[in-house]
Chain A
Amino acid sequence: NAGVTQTPKFQVLKTGQSMTLQCAQDMNHNSMYWYRQDPGMGLRLIYYSASEGTTDKGEVPNGYNVSRLNKREFSLRLESAAPSQTSVYFCASSPLAPSTDTQYFGPGTRLTVL
């Protein structure tokens, strides 16, 4: 099993450009999450999906949109990138409803917005 995979690994954008971060898991988990991690700020939840067909806002959703394409895939879209969105983005999944079990993280996407 590959676990949680993310693409791309690195990305540089100019302000105003858009892009989609892809995430997939092969563990048949119900719940999936997107976090961003910044120095001194720790991991902050952007959006999550408790199950296929549902999505909810986390702590810092502004400037992002998500799509739970199917049970395996959960994408994060930046419609108009801003320098404040420079960060490391992690996707995670867990087998049960949010917060009742451990989270499995992907390797991360390092995004720089110029």
Chain B
Amino acid sequence: SQKIEQNSEALNIQEGKTATLTCNYTNYSPAYLQWYRQDPGRGPVFLLLIRENEKEKRKERLKVTFDTTLKQSLFHITASQPADSATYLCARRRDDKIIFGKGTRLHILP
């Protein structure tokens, strides 16, 4: 079945460095992948969508890549700040629904 896998270990990054989060999927490539941010006690918030035919997408300090050969999406935050600390979720289409990975907790250390 089609799955989404994210590293469930927390990621600690020094402020100012680039944080890179990984999302791996199984089976065939989805038409697109989505990335969401979730803060404690709140609902997820959509950040970026990257389509299968797009190699890279950027939004301010955020960059997402989509590698159909590796079946992987990478999510980068450049010049990271403590305010970027949150859980980041990857999502893909499965049948007529969207399924989410378990998320990766990111801590930006001052």
Q: Which residues of A contact B (CB under 8 A)?
A: 4, 40-43, 45, 48, 50, 58-59, 90, 92, 97-99, 102-108
Q: Which residues of B contact A (CB under 8 A)?
A: 8, 34, 36, 41-46, 49, 89, 91, 93-103
Shortest distance between the CB of B87 and any CB in chain A (Å): 10
Judge whether B43 and A42 touch: CB under 8 Å. Answer: no
Shortest distance between the CB of A106 and any CB in chain B (Å): 6
Judge whether B89 and A43 touch: CB under 8 Å. Answer: yes
Provided the pairs A40-B8, A40-B102, A41-B102 are in contact, do residues A99 and B42 lie with their beta carbons within 8 angstroms? no
A6 (CB) vs chain B CBs: closest residue: B43
Judge whether A50 and B96 touch: CB under 8 Å. Answer: yes
Judge whether B46 and A102 touch: CB under 8 Å. Answer: yes
Judge whether A107 and B42 touch: CB under 8 Å. Answer: yes
B residues within 8 A CB of A42? Answer: 89, 100-103
A residues within 8 A CB of B8? Answer: 40
B residues within 8 A CB of A105? Answer: 43-45
- The residue that A99 contacts in the complex, of B44, B89, B93, B100, with Cβ under 8 A, is B93
Q: Complex: how many Å from CA A59 to CA B4?
A: 14
A residues within 8 A CB of B34? Answer: 102
Shortest distance between the CB of B16 and any CB in chain A (Å): 30
Provided the pairs A40-B8, A92-B43 are in contact, do residues A98 and B100 lie with their beta carbons within 8 angstroms? no
A58 (CB) vs chain B CBs: closest residue: B97
Shortest distance between the CB of A107 and any CB in chain B (Å): 6
Judge whether A98 and B103 touch: CB under 8 Å. Answer: no
A residues within 8 A CB of B94? Answer: 99
Most chain B C-beta atoms within 10 Å of own C-beta, residue among A58, A97, A98, A99: A99
B residues within 8 A CB of A4? Answer: 43
Judge whether B98 and A103 touch: CB under 8 Å. Answer: yes
- The residue that B43 contacts in the complex, of A48, A99, A107, with Cβ under 8 A, is A107
Interface CB pairs A-B, < 8 A, 24: A42-B89, A42-B100, A42-B101, A42-B102, A42-B103, A43-B89, A43-B100, A45-B99, A48-B97, A90-B44, A98-B97, A99-B93, A99-B94, A102-B49, A103-B36, A103-B44, A103-B46, A103-B91, A104-B46, A105-B44, A105-B45, A106-B43, A107-B43, A108-B42
